[in-house]
Amino acid sequence: MKSLGLMSVVVAAAMTTGCANSERSRDIGNPNISGTTLAQQVCSNCHGMTGTSVSPNFPNLAGQTEPYLIAQLSSFKSHGRSDPAGFEYMWGLSRSLTDDQMKQLAAYYARQTPGALPIEGDRAGLAAGKGIFESGVPEKSIPACASCHGADAKGNATFPRLAGQHVDYIVKQLRVFQRTDERPEGAVMKVVAHDLTPQNIRDVASFLQALPSL
Amino acid sequence: MDSTTDPRSAELKPMLPALPARWLMLLFSVLVFLPDLAQAIPAFNRQTGQNCVACHAGGQFPELTPYGRLFKLTGYTIGERAVPISAMVVASLSKVANTSKSADPSAEFQKDGSGILATASLLLGGKVTDNIGAFAQVTYDPYATQSPDGRFHGHSNADNIDIRYADRFIGDKHDLIFGVSANNNPSLSDPWNTAAAWMQYVPVPSPTSSRFIDGNSPYPGYGAGGNIAGLSAYAFWNQSIYAELGAYGSSRGVSSFMSAGIPADEKTRLKGLNPYWRLAYSHDWGPHSLMVGTSGMVARVYDDPLDTSDPASLHHFRDLAVDAQYQYLLDPHAVTAQLVYTRNRHRYPDAEAGLSVPFVDAAGNALASTNASDTNHLLRAKLSYVYQARYGGSVAIFNLTGSTNTASLTAGLDPGTLTINPDPAAQAPSNQQVDGNRTGSPATRGATLEAFWTPIQYLRVGVQYTAYTRFNGASKNYDGFGRNASDNNSLFLYTWLAY
């Protein structure tokens, strides 16, 4: 058993040497930790190392606009954004972020190059989705997505980048806008999404996810 | 087993009218306290500020999501230090299909059909520093011992303890998590729930009415058991390759807290350091997550924990496991498929091998002497589905096979009369029926169905039914006195609170 005791001492020594390294810190309550460190040590668990997430449960953040990211982080922190995807994960993680850390995080993700991902949605709906994105649904007075999100859906200020976003994430968020008031910062979308049919939502989400590959 | 055609299924009916009052009261009391529960949060939840479903697949604690695995592997350190205490309480009811074929039903099926407070645990968990975190559980068992007058006495002891140091080097293209875990149960440090320490997740109540519920059916395990002390080092490369190497010894001296509360004669005493290893490949794509892995342990365990003077009294275990887990996690669906195969080789102390037994075969010939070693094979599979982290169900199958050993016989043919007799040397005749074995084979096979409801994330109510098609080597008359495998079919109801 002496060897087990010796191992304990070695481990205890190792434990005391790595504590103060802010580059690898996961101390998200510490305002001195940089946004890059937070992005790598914490956010990467769900959003991927460079902002391209594996699971559609979590949105891709690579190439997202800085104003949109800052607005979302602020809204998570203030509990203004309360959709399940938001509060289940992000309320806790954002609670101690400083304004500077939010800016650094936003800058970090905005400068990442979006990953090339396989097409997730139904190809049959791509054409219909393209039509909604570029021209809206005139008979229902639904405006074209491109008018705010940009011709390539790369976003514009607080209007988020949608190109390459996971189909499931877009579908769920459109439903949140359409059916709830859980995202007050995106209230404009409640009007826009109000008359979209489930098929419309599926089609436009499929198109947006596939857009970078088309 | 088809319970609709089994006459024994009728024996389950009398309990049904007795159930609602008890369980309605329990449910009522829980609902009354709901507003308070919704304010109370488990320690990790407080630390991260996140919902339970972030780390637990469909809220099925303790099964981890990919994020939950990273939370564990990075040493439980994500988040901010918070009050590190949580508590867990399990209330349950077990009902065995047949309690009459027993030498002593009141002893062999204690609390059968009665609602009980099964266990209560205090959990200490959370971030200590940026690199150090802990998960420690102390469990109180209200039915730990029973005095001759039949009264039960409670007892607390150290349960799962995992204290770890972890660090992470991560960049745009690489991600290396590494750490060291001090723990008291081989595979407790593992982040997948096909690991022996984590696959069985509903705590098993002590009263003997729970002896055949799913938690007591064959599960993967290591011969070294728990309440020992070990250190393991692990690394997870690019969230893809996981490797862990550890060594376990007896829990004593500075590590005696790892087995605190366990009576000295029940502690596992190991000779020297005993290696444990684990290798796994993990791959996530879209909402899918797959792990294929293998693990094993070689251990030397003293026959008598109170006498470690004789090296010839050692049991030698060589355990090998191959496991796989698939998860599909996309709100509102959570699907998990688990598959484990284990091979356990057990070599007995010389004094236990080659002994003659007092039984003969049908022709009157002496049976083989007891084995020097046994090898068992266990296959266990489970498929579960949870909707909205609220409504869930699962189906599981288990199939244990292994070498026949006359040492396992509790009954056999008497050399003089050629009629079935209990083992005259047995010291606990009451076990000769319910735990009896007339074949010498460990073969046990069955299935478990479960449905559960999680109305809020701190409460789960479940109903489980476990059916056996084979028990201790036989479907019919496994004990030699008429008890059948299906007599052991068990209903288990539980309510699990964690806050």
Return all residues near B76 (Cβ < 8 A) that are at least 6 apart. B44, B47, B125, B126, B127, B133, B134, B135, B164
Exposed (0-12), middle (13-18) or buried (19+): which is A106, by Cβ within 10 Å? buried
Cα angle B4, B7, B13 (rounded to 5 degrees) comes to 75
Q: Inter-chain contact B79–A44, Cβ cutoff 8 Å?
A: no
Residue-range domains of chain A with CATH: 31-110 (1.10.760.10), 123-213 (1.10.760.10)
In b/e form, how buried is each residue of B297-311, taking b as 16+ CB within 10 angstroms? bbbbbbbebeeeeee
**Cis-peptide, bond into residue B20, ω within 30° of zero:** no
> What does each of the 214 residues of chain A score in pLDDT, given as a tens digit?
445 555 555 555 554 444 456 778 778 788 899 999 999 999 999 999 999 999 999 999 999 999 999 999 999 999 999 998 888 899 999 999 999 999 999 999 999 999 878 898 888 899 999 999 999 999 999 999 999 999 999 999 999 999 999 999 999 999 999 999 999 989 999 999 999 999 999 999 999 999 998 8
Q: Inter-chain contact B249–A1, Cβ cutoff 8 Å?
A: yes
Q: What pTM does this model have?
A: 0.89
Average pLDDT, chain A: 89
Q: Is A101 on the interface with B (CB under 8 A)?
A: no
**Residue B194 in tokens:** 């096909």
How many helices and strands (H and E) does chain B possess? 8, 18
Q: With a CB-CB cutoff of 8 Å, which residues 289-318 of chain B face chain A?
A: none
Share of chain B above pLDDT 70, in %: 90
CA atoms within 13 A on the CB side of A157: 2
Please name the residue of chain B whose CA is at the shortest distance from the CA of residue A166. Answer: B286
Under DSSP, is residue A66 helix (H, G, I), strand (E, B) or coil?
helix
Q: Is A24 on the interface with B (CB under 8 A)?
A: yes
Q: Inter-chain contact A85–B54, Cβ cutoff 8 Å?
A: no
Query: A84-94 and A66-77 helices cross at what angle (nearest 10)?
Result: 80
Q: Inter-chain contact B168–A26, Cβ cutoff 8 Å?
A: yes
Q: Is B235 on the interface with A (CB under 8 A)?
A: no
Contact B180, B132 (CB under 8 A): no
Q: Is A198 on the interface with B (CB under 8 A)?
A: no
pLDDT digits (tens, 9 = 90+) for B291-325: 999 999 999 999 999 999 999 999 999 999 999 99
ipTM score of complex: 0.89
Per CB-CB distance under 8 Å, the chain B contacts of A27 are: 80, 130
| Nearest neighbour of A4 by CB, restricted to B53, B81, B229 | B229
Residue-range domains of chain B with CATH: 7-498 (2.40.160)
Q: With a CB-CB cutoff of 8 Å, which residues 164-203 of chain B face chain A?
A: 165, 167-173, 175, 180, 182
